[in-house]
Amino acid sequence: MIKAAAIDAIPAITLLKLKMFREVRMEHILLDDFIQEVEKTYKELYKSGKAKHFIIKNDNKVIACAGAFIKEDIPYCFFKERKYSFIGDV
């Protein structure tokens, strides 16, 4: 069953994100402290209401996810409606 992730699922989501980069052999582009940075950033985004993941668990283990993010950067930061959203971490 798909359900909204709680903040305590962020470590499992981060590992899935890392796995995606490894599967395409692109982990060399990541920060050395990738896991810590992603977890810190996602926790901040969750607390501010600017991110949410939806997860699927099997045997109590997160096996899939999709994230929804609200952004406010270029070029939208110059518009009257400054926010936009995107789906990631799929």
Per-residue pLDDT of the chain (90 residues; tens, 9 = 90+): 899 999 999 999 999 999 999 999 999 999 999 999 999 999 999 999 999 999 999 999 999 999 999 999 988 889 999 888 989 998
Q: How far is CA 40 from CA 32, 45, 68, 78, in A?
A: 14, 9, 17, 27
Ranges of H-type helices in 24-77 = 34-48
CATH number assigned to the domain with residue range 2-88, chosen from the 4 options 3.40.630.30, 3.30.930.10, 2.40.50.100, 3.40.50.720: 3.40.630.30
Find out whether 83 and 73 touch, Cβ atoms under 8 Å.
Answer: no
pTM: 0.89
